[in-house]
Amino acid sequence: MTQRKKSILIVDDNKDLLSVLDLVLTGQGWKVAVLSSPNQLSSELHKNQYDVILLDMNFQGKTSSGNEGLFWLSEVQKIDQDQAVVMITAYGDINLAVRSLQEGAVDFIDKAWDQQKILSTLETAWQISISKRQIRKLKSQRNHLSSKLSDQSPIYWGNSASIREVKALIEKVGKTDASVLILGENGTGKELVAQEIHRSSGREDEVFISVDMGSIPTSLFESEMFGYEKGAFTGALKAKAGRMFLADGGTLFLDEIGNLNHDLQSKLLRVLETHQIIPLGGQKIQPVDFRLITATNSPLPDQVNDGVFRQDLFYRLNTITITLPPLRERRDDIRGLITLFLEIYNNKHSRSFRIKDSDITILEKQPWPGNIRQLKHSIERAVILSDGQYINLEQTEYNNGIGLIQSRTSLNLADTEKKLISQALSQSKGNITKTAELLGINRSTVYDKIKKYGL
């Protein structure tokens, strides 16, 4: 994770004081900006974010009431209620100091030069600023994550050679901050692998934000990813943090990245190059620092060659590429997966089913075009519908309504896949969303398969 400089905006009409403070604070590692008039304050805060604002209480030397400073303090709070503001005055009025604190300032100093006190006060204000912003980010992350709770299965590695290679690569990549592109068919566990990379990284104590790019309409991309300000569009009754802001400090996982259109690819690339975002309807730049992991079942190199996917973005995404094998290429792991899912769904549904060894052997021979996701759904269905001591294999036959392929049926993968999709379309009466749910794949893949098989 990168460490950025502490930033401060100093607003005072005493240009000599501005010069001295700029020199001293820059020497102490601060990033300093100055304004000699508060009239520019609002526009500046809409463009840039500062950790601390050092704000004069009296301008033009005409009054010592402090009303000007208090007015501009309230204007700052309208823009950002969590902004850390330190008031400064030449008069040292304790009543004025108390009033400014009551109205939201974090501290108060006077112009009687005490360099150590100034540095100490600003350092404390900076710590308060960091704490406030962290609390706000954590609240936003909590709200986001609470809406994303699911029964995600723990990752199961197994003993197949292909999955051992994947695990070894994850262990190497996890320790770095490199961008990772995960390739694999739907249902192979791409998000679980992304989570494992996150847990293996230096960001493991930070948030993991997952976004399905295929589920975000083009028109909502900016508001969802960058966030928006109150009033940015009809219905924006309050500001909302974007996914990229929520992922700050942690890991951002973009699933189905191949679904992103060309214009939106440019916007994503710009964020990756600048590490900055601007919420919709706002002007203030927000720095962001997240590790990016992406995934797709699309052939991105082919899309690059066809001009559908930007080559420069592709190179940014695939510093490291991890390809997950389909379940049919790791049949040695099916037994362990069945045992895991049976335990999970017995606990979830308060059951105590077992499975016969002979039934596991039958399930090991199935093609599982929906991969691990299809197997998981099939076991859950059997747990829900079975009676007695053992799960009923006939209940897995319907895997969310779709018959598994018995040994007497053709084992040709294309024939099997076509038959399953045809059955799902028939059962869902042509409803693509329902068909995708039955198959355990996404809508775009259903469309591709319909076109491929002429269904």
CATH of the domain at 355: 1.10.8.60
- Residue 144 pLDDT: 52
- Together in a domain, 317 and 171: yes
Any idea what the CATH number is for the domain that residue 106 is in?
Answer: 3.40.50.2300
End-to-end CA distance of the chain: 49
Reading the block at residue 55, the tokens are: 């704000």
| Pairwise CA distance, residues 359 & 407, whole Å | 12
**Euclidean distance between CA atoms 379 and 393, whole angstroms:** 9
257 and 282 inside one domain: yes
DSSP 399-427: GGG-PPPPTTS---HHHHHHHHHHHHHHH
Residue 16 reports pLDDT greater than 60: yes
pLDDT bracket for residue 145 (50, 70, 90): low
- CATH code, domain with 304: 3.40.50.300
- Asked whether residue 146 is domain-assigned, the answer is no
Residue 405's pLDDT is: 46
Q: What percent of the chain has pLDDT over 70?
A: 88
Instruction: Identify whether 143 is part of a domain.
Output: no
For the residues of 257-307, what is the DSSP string, one character each? Answer: GGG--HHHHHHHHHHHHH-EE--BT----EE---EEEEEESS-HHHHHHTT
pLDDT on residue 446:
79
Residues 310, 166, single domain; the answer is yes
Residue 357: domain span: 327-453
Spatial strand order of the sheet with 291-296 comes to 208-212, 251-255, 291-296, 180-183, 320-323
* Listed residues 83, 101, 136: the one ending a domain: 136
C-alpha–C-alpha distance, residues 431 and 435, integer Å: 6
Q: Strand 291-296 relative to strand 276-277: parallel, antiparallel, unpaired?
A: unpaired
**Whether 245 and 284 share a structural domain:** yes
304 domain residue, yes or no: yes
Give a yes or no: residue 175 inside a domain.
yes
Higher pLDDT, 165 or 241: 165
Round the average pLDDT of the chain to a whole number and report it: 84
Whether residues 167 and 290 fall in one domain: yes
Residue 259 within a domain: yes
The total number of structural domains in the chain stands at 3
Q: Is the pLDDT of residue 404 over 60?
A: no
Q: State whether 319 and 332 are in the same domain.
A: no
Maximum C-alpha span of the chain: 96
User: Is residue 369 domain-resident?
Assistant: yes
What average pLDDT does the segment 57-61 reach?
70
Which pairing describes strands 52-56 and 276-277: parallel, antiparallel, or unpaired? unpaired
352 and 310 fall within a common domain: no
Q: At what angle do helices 357-364 and 334-348 cross, to 10 degrees?
A: 120
Are residue 229 and residue 246 in the same domain, yes or no?
A: yes
pTM over 0.75: no
pLDDT at 113: 76
- The average pLDDT across 157-170 equals 91
Domain co-membership, 113 together with 22: yes
Between 379 and 434, the more confident residue is 379
Q: Is residue 151 part of a domain?
A: no
> Do residues 215 and 184 share a domain?
yes
One domain for residues 292 and 353: no
Examine the pLDDT at 209 and tell me if it is beyond 80.
yes
Q: Which residues pair with 286 in a beta bridge?
A: 277
The alpha carbon dihedral of 308, 187, 222, 7 has a sign of negative
Picking from 210, 200, 205, the residue whose alpha carbon sits closest to that of residue 178 is: 200
- Tell me, yes or no, whether 288 and 335 share the same domain: no
Asked if residue 139 has pLDDT above 80, the reply is no
User: CA distances (Å), 116 to each of 57, 88, 105, in order?
Assistant: 21, 15, 20
Strands (E), 136-217: 180-183, 208-212
Distance CA 324, CA 428 (A): 30
Average pLDDT over residues 304-322: 93
Domain boundary among 301, 323, 345: 323
Read off the pLDDT of residues 69-109 as tens digits, 9 standing for 90 and up.
888 998 898 888 778 999 887 655 667 777 888 888 888 88
**Is 70 exceeded by the pLDDT of residue 277?**
yes
Q: Is residue 150 part of a domain?
A: no
pLDDT of residue 147: 44
End position of a domain, from candidates 323, 350, 375 = 323
- Say if residues 254 and 292 touch (Cβ distance below 8 Å): yes
